[in-house]
Amino acid sequence: MHQIEVYFVVRAKKNLGYKSIQWKRRLPKNVLSEASLLLTGFYPKQYYSELLRLVKYWDEEQEREFIFITNAMHISALQVTELYKNCWQVELFFKRLK
């Protein structure tokens, strides 16, 4: 994916194994943390060895924390959260169609 410049945003599982490389300090509102990371699990490390980005976000509407993983380093943390929200709206739309 990285070689053909395909970008993704997914929610991270709680048991995701990773090593933080660098933390970002100045964060926009509702972004709890942002870091660059490398996957440490045996298979994940083999399948995707490139640098990733972790964004922790507090959603005020739902009053819960979301953790996203992306390979899109060129967009802001809030854009990462908006991309995921928009993708989720598409999923809900298709669910309603069924």
Question: Do the Cβ atoms of 27 and 34 come closer than 8 Å?
Answer: yes
* Per-residue pLDDT at 1 exceeds 80: no
How far, in Å, CA of 96 to CA of 82, rounded? 21
Number of H helices, E strands in the chain: 2, 5
Task: With CA atoms as reference, report the closest residue to 73 among 48, 47, 46, 55.
Answer: 55
pLDDT digits (tens, 9 = 90+) for 16-39: 899 999 998 888 999 999 999 999
Tokens read off for 45? 């490390």
pLDDT of residue 2: 66
* Per-residue pLDDT at 55 exceeds 90: yes
